[in-house]
Amino acid sequence: MNKAQWDPALALFTDDCSVEISALGIYVGKKQAGVLFKDLLGKGPALSDDNGLVWGRLYNHMIVQGIVNVDDDGRGASGRWRCFMQIAEFGKSAVWGEGPYEIRYRKGDDGLWRIQRLHFYRTYHTPFDEGWAKAKSPAGGMRPHLPPDHPPSREYEPWPAVYIPPFHYDNPVSGSRRYTREGVEDV
């Protein structure tokens, strides 16, 4: 992702994958994931060509706070990661972004793990010079010229609204997978 190496990134996905980023909708299958990465992101914030990012573009995705739980059968796993982004076009603009990924993995017959489902929930996406202290994150939405296979699976408002995506694992004390401003809710 950082250097817009789309083909090597797509090799990490299953053929029947689904990818959902913010409010862009759900892109199903490796071909559609390629549309999302190459045509939507790669012609937008991660401006790229066949060799990756073009000169003067920054698309850093720092992935932290990972937790992965492997299924009892050893063939599937779920992970939650937090992404901190720096996106920029030299001399023109810079943006901060942040949010959690919920990812479902599947182990193939070849013994290799691949991403079966990726869902990124945007917490904020704000201009560098204003930051999250002064700028409201735009709501975003689907792109009619590159339609997804399905609309977003969840509707939520990014910053300054507060939304906590469901966790794939239970809280070890309460047993809940979702926390809301109003309290704990089972999913």
Per DSSP, the residues of 119-130 read: EE--SEEEETTT
Domain total for the chain? Answer: 1
Residue 123: which of 162, 66, 81, 180 has the closest Cα? 162
Q: Which residues pair with 37 in a beta bridge?
A: none
In a domain, 72, yes or no: yes
In a domain, 162, yes or no: yes
Q: How many CA atoms lie within 13 A of 61 on its CB side?
A: 15
C-alpha distances out from residue 87 to 44, 127, 137, 140, Å: 11, 9, 14, 16
- Tens-digit pLDDT profile for the chain (187 aa)? 899 999 999 999 999 999 999 999 999 999 999 999 999 999 999 999 988 999 999 999 999 999 999 999 999 999 999 999 999 999 999 999 999 999 999 999 999 999 999 999 999 999 999 999 999 998 889 999 999 999 999 999 999 999 888 888 887 777 776 655 554 455 4
Residues 6+ apart with CB under 8 A from 19: 13, 26, 27, 32, 33, 36, 37, 117, 118, 119
Q: Residue 172 has what pLDDT?
A: 76
Return the CATH number at 35.
Answer: 3.10.450.50
In a domain, 1, yes or no: no
Range of the domain at 170: 6-185
7-18: b (≥16 Cβ within 10 Å) or e: eebbeebbeebb
Q: Quick one: 83 exposed, middle or buried, by C-beta within 10 A (0-12, 13-18, 19+)? A: buried
In a domain, 54, yes or no: yes
